[in-house]
Amino acid sequence: MPTITGLKAYDLRFPTSLEAHGSDAMHTDPDYSCGYVVITTDAGDGLEGHGLTFTCGRGTEVVVVAIQSLSFLLVGKKLEDIYDDFSSFWRALTSESQMRWIGPEKGVIHLATAAIVNALWDLWAKREGKPLWKLLVDMEPEKLVSCIDFRYISDVLTKEEAVEMLKKKQEGKADREKEMLEKGYPAYITSAGWLGYSEDEIRKRCREGLAQGWTRFKVKVGADLADDVRRCGLIREEIGWDNTMMVDANQRWDVQESIDHMLRLAEFKPLWIEEPTSPDDALGHATIAKALNPLGIGVATGEQCQNRVIFKQMLQAGGLQFCQIDSCRMGGVNEVVSVILMAAKFGIPVCPHAGGVGLCQMVQHLAVFDYVSVSASLDNRVCEFADHLHENFKEAIVIKNASYVLPKAAGYSTEMKPESISGYQYPNGAVWQQLFKEGKFTAP
Ligand SMILES: C[C@H](O)[C@@H](O)CC(=O)C(=O)O
Ligand SMILES: [Mg+2]
């Protein structure tokens, strides 16, 4: 029975702000970053668990300290004791009596939990010799459900119901898996429409996207209404009206402002308005949805939904028409699976969020699991793709025909190349030292 011998946490940052990649109405200069975790064991098989949580620059150092503070719960633990009763371990991690005060189950401490839990799933999948999606799809319903902590959600979804839902979808699973292996999981592209891009850059990226076969494009809005009208107009000019456009305000507006702005942008026929207002405001989202749904505009949210409880309330209140699970915002795969199941129960499509470093790597697994084992539907379902930083991963995502090609390598696709880990470590990695020398960033 292997034992966990070590957990290392790294502060990795990428200088994306230099070219406004990833910029939006609230995060105007993001340096895509992550708290990165490597778990080692005494198994002697050379396998390590690599996991990460996405952050945006300076906050990373706080997340890394939180990861280090939680590591005592893992080091010295037998792997089987974790995987045989994963929900209990997950609860131990999220309910540790001194650490939970700085959560609970939200913010920095939950981002740190996600990095650790994602690394544990990567290790589990590697030990089974399967990509994570396959590990999830092959798992007996009872075993998978035993990984979920149902505390706070059993009023809408019980363990027994979850098992029943998964059992019902056993039929046809092999066909859906085959279909996914042949066609991949459908995606949309975000990286044509970051807020800080010039008009020329947006046009160029739309044209390249169309040439590559993309049919769904997301554009950032929210900073200034007149500018949003101009940007949406130019994107429609480029992609035409047969293709799909989504807009994303990254929480910039009040509730009434969201409605007013979207009434103005409705002429551009967006499929959804994403994160119009505070990610905690379930009733506000419901008010917005009520006003905009008659215009054919859905509300999408989730990348900053801090945990399964907020998702539960969003679903109960009718606050979202597109459920954007995030692989790092919540406490890793265990909690994400619970939200995928709740969304299915409410009949709401899951469209994972992936704008950040490493997120595309992970959500491809989660989207496929949703289709094969839970929803059995692709209606209104599409997974985000943002074309940045994939080259840093050992098993980088592959996109073909605007769809994710299913990963085949064992693990959660989260392992970065050693040279990326050393080069982008902040502030001592070679890349950062060079950037400081060139005066592009100021050394801390
Ligand atoms: C700061 C990130 O780039 C954010 O804008 C991503 C996002 O909202 C999305 O991908 O959606
Ligand atoms: Mg977004």
User: What is the edge-to-edge ordering of all strands in the sheet holding 4-13?
Assistant: 4-13, 32-41, 49-56
Q: Is the pLDDT of residue 291 over 90?
A: yes
Catalytic residue among 106, 220, 261, 312: 220
Residue with CA nearest ligand 1 atom 9: 355
Dihedral sign for Cα atoms in the order 418, 424, 426, 428 = positive
Proximal ligand: closest to the CA of 388: 1
The residue to mutate among 248, 251, 299, 322, having the most atoms of ligand 1 within 8 angstroms of its beta carbon, is: 248
For the CA atoms of the chain, what is the radius of gyration?
21
Proximal ligand: closest to the CA of 193: 1
- The DSSP call for residue 414 is -
Question: What is the band of 1 on the pLDDT scale with cuts at 50, 70, 90?
Answer: confident
Proximal ligand: closest to the CA of 274: 2
Contact 407, 365 (CB under 8 A): yes
Residue with CA nearest ligand 1 atom 10: 355
Lining ligand 1 with CB less than 6 A are 22, 24, 27, 30, 56, 190, 248, 250, 303, 353, 355-356, 384, 386
- Long-range pairs for 106-110: beta carbons < 8 A, 24 or more residues apart: 106/306, 106/307, 107/306, 108/59, 108/62, 108/63, 108/66, 109/66, 109/70, 110/306, 110/307, 110/329, 110/330, 110/331
pLDDT digits (tens, 9 = 90+) for 168-223: 999 999 999 999 999 999 999 999 999 999 999 999 999 999 999 999 999 999 99
Q: Is 240 exposed, middle or buried (0-12, 13-18, 19+ CB in 10 A)?
A: exposed
Sorted by sequence, the CB contacts under 8 Å of residue 251 that are 6+ apart come out as 26, 275, 276, 277, 278, 279, 304
Q: What value does the mean pLDDT of the chain take?
A: 98
Contact 273, 288 (CB under 8 A): yes
* pLDDT > 70 in the chain, percent: 100
Q: What is the pLDDT of residue 418?
A: 98
pLDDT digits (tens, 9 = 90+) for 30-81: 999 999 999 999 999 999 999 999 999 999 999 999 999 999 999 999 999 9
Ligand 2 centroid to Cα of residue 250, in Å, is: 6
The residue to mutate among 303, 329, 357, 388, having the most atoms of ligand 1 within 8 angstroms of its beta carbon, is: 303
Question: What is the band of 427 on the pLDDT scale with cuts at 50, 70, 90?
Answer: very high
Q: What is the pLDDT of residue 99?
A: 96
- The arithmetic mean of pLDDT across residues 146-170, rounded, is 98
Question: What is the band of 411 on the pLDDT scale with cuts at 50, 70, 90?
Answer: very high
What is the token pair recorded at 315? Answer: 């679903």
Domains and CATH numbers, the chain: 4-131+419-438 (3.30.390.10), 166-411 (3.20.20.120)
Ligand 1 centroid to Cα of residue 54, in Å, is: 11
Q: What is the pLDDT of residue 395?
A: 98
Ligand 1 centroid to Cα of residue 223, in Å, is: 14
Per the annotation, the verdict on 390 as an active-site residue is: no
Catalytic residue among 21, 126, 261, 353: 353
Q: Is the pLDDT of residue 145 over 90?
A: yes
Helix axes 225-239, 255-265, angle to 10 degrees: 40
- Ligand 2 ion: Cβ-proximal residues, 5 Å cutoff: 248, 274
Contact 393, 415 (CB under 8 A): yes
Per the annotation, the verdict on 220 as an active-site residue is: yes
